[in-house]
Chain A
């Protein structure tokens, strides 16, 4: 995708332009850095949810374009800074679709997985072997991490994912009422517990890796 004629030439962000962008986000550089990271994460998710296979690249491209606009004197109001980024991101996405349609060029990454199946890379095969070993190790780490999880959290996550269909929804509503919290808050709580488990497993794999 990079260097493709479907896209405009990359504009290299200068330090002055980057500093100008941070200043627009917040006069305090540290808070500006936090907001910058928040925006970048949301942009990545946006592009991922829009079906892009390289959301990081599209997110950085969007930020570069916003920095250029700021450097060129565009006004960004603080309460609309997120919307400004979103607007630029949508434009980046639409330009990409147009270019793809116009040029009918598909990068390897954009192909569905089935179309990649015929290409066998021995290096990739070796990497898969390593991944298989890591998978087994992950399961070992999983045992330890689940055991370390506090009992109330373990029960919550187990009950949250029990059942199917309407019974599952009803059970979640019941669980939320037992805990005295709305369903949305219960979802967030379950999401955080799963995140802690996955982080624990990653840390375990990294330590023994």
Chain B
């Protein structure tokens, strides 16, 4: 133990009994009245024990120390314990002393600083932090899974909606096409009807009237239904129907049909004679369904009259 401060050296010499009586009394008066001085002496006395244990005293100091502080077994045990304490302290702090000494603070990388925040002295806190981190990790994965599921569902819904929209558009387009066609057909029918009405309203030209007498039903003629030869310039074909019913009808309802059942012409007449425009009778088979209307207003079948129109 060399090169201490002058005062420290004096205190050590006092402890080892190497100062004069006068110096002793003066120092003792100081430590009896000043607590700091007394504490310094106690600390130095204890330090001497550790210095002796480490072999840090001079030979003279060791002899003085042994005479004064190594008298009893208890004293020897104290020194032995001091040696063991230092050895154990060196052993335990050998790996961590450099990190804990408040030496030069070197700049650390940001990720080291972040890692140091996660390094806690207390095992309990480390466990708690690890548990919290694990919880956050598990929660994060679950959240990601849920998000992926939801995204998948949204995608499916979007695809479904797109498909439905396309179908709707197709149906709409089809409906529009059909509607347009119906509009065209309606326009054409209206035009045709208009022409017919005009034609019918037009006074009949003093054209050639051709008359035929028709009997009801199919004739037993071997030639089949009556054949009406209609010239091309004929304006009206007058058909006189031979009604076999004995009932006296007030009036008649006549309907001209082709063999497909399509009604071509109909009229209410007062007698069983019909004037049918020749242009409505292109070559083909026809039937006139005649109904008689009684005085009471009831309709009764008055016969079906078949004929075949041919061009002359």
Contact = CB atoms under 8 A, between A and B. Distances in A.
Nearest to B96: A151
B80 A161 contact: no
Contact of A198 (B42, B43, B71, B81): B81
B92 interface: yes
> DSSP majority for the A interface?
helix
A155 interface: yes
A190 interface: yes
A201 B80 CA distance: 13
B43 A191 contact: yes
Interface in A124-139: 128, 131, 135, 138-139
Interface stretch (A2-10, A16-24, A47-55, A69-77): A47-55
Nearest to A82: B32
B40 interface: yes
Interface of B: 2-5, 14-15, 17, 24-25, 28-29, 31-33, 36, 38-47, 50, 54, 56, 67-68, 70-73, 77, 80-82, 84-86, 88-90, 92-93, 96-97, 100-103, 121
B51 to A, nearest CB: 8
9 contacts: A86-B32, A90-B25, A113-B70, A155-B100, A158-B90, A161-B89, A178-B103, A194-B85, A198-B85
B97 A158 contact: yes
A140 to B, nearest CB: 11
A183 B40 CA distance: 11
- Mostly, the B contact residues are helix
A154 B85 CA distance: 11
A113 B77 CA distance: 15
Contacts of B29: 83, 86
Given A83-B32, A86-B29, A195 B46 contact: yes
Contacts of A168: 56
A178 B101 contact: yes
B101 A155 contact: yes
B89 A146 contact: yes
Interface residues of A, number: 51
B97 to A, nearest CB: 5
Contacts of A142: 81, 84-85, 88
Contact of B85 (A51, A53, A146): A146
Contacts of B101: 155, 159, 178
A166 interface: yes
Given A112-B67, A113-B70, A166-B3, 8 more contacts: A45-B38, A45-B45, A53-B72, A151-B93, A154-B96, A179-B102, A184-B40, A194-B50
Contacts of B43: 187-188, 190-191
A42 interface: yes
B80 A147 contact: no
A190 B93 contact: no
Q: Which of A139, A157, A184 counts the most chain B CB atoms within 10 A?
A: A184
Given A83-B33, A112-B67, A166-B2, A188 B40 contact: yes
Contacts of A53: 71-72
A56 B40 CA distance: 21
Contacts of B92: 146-147, 154
Interface string A155-171: 10111011011101100
B43 to A, nearest CB: 4
A85 B32 CA distance: 9
A143 interface: yes
A46 interface: yes
A142 to B, nearest CB: 6
B84 A155 contact: no
A165 B25 CA distance: 30
Contacts of B31: 42
A62 to B, nearest CB: 12
B260 to A, nearest CB: 113
Contacts of B14: 49
A106 B78 CA distance: 26
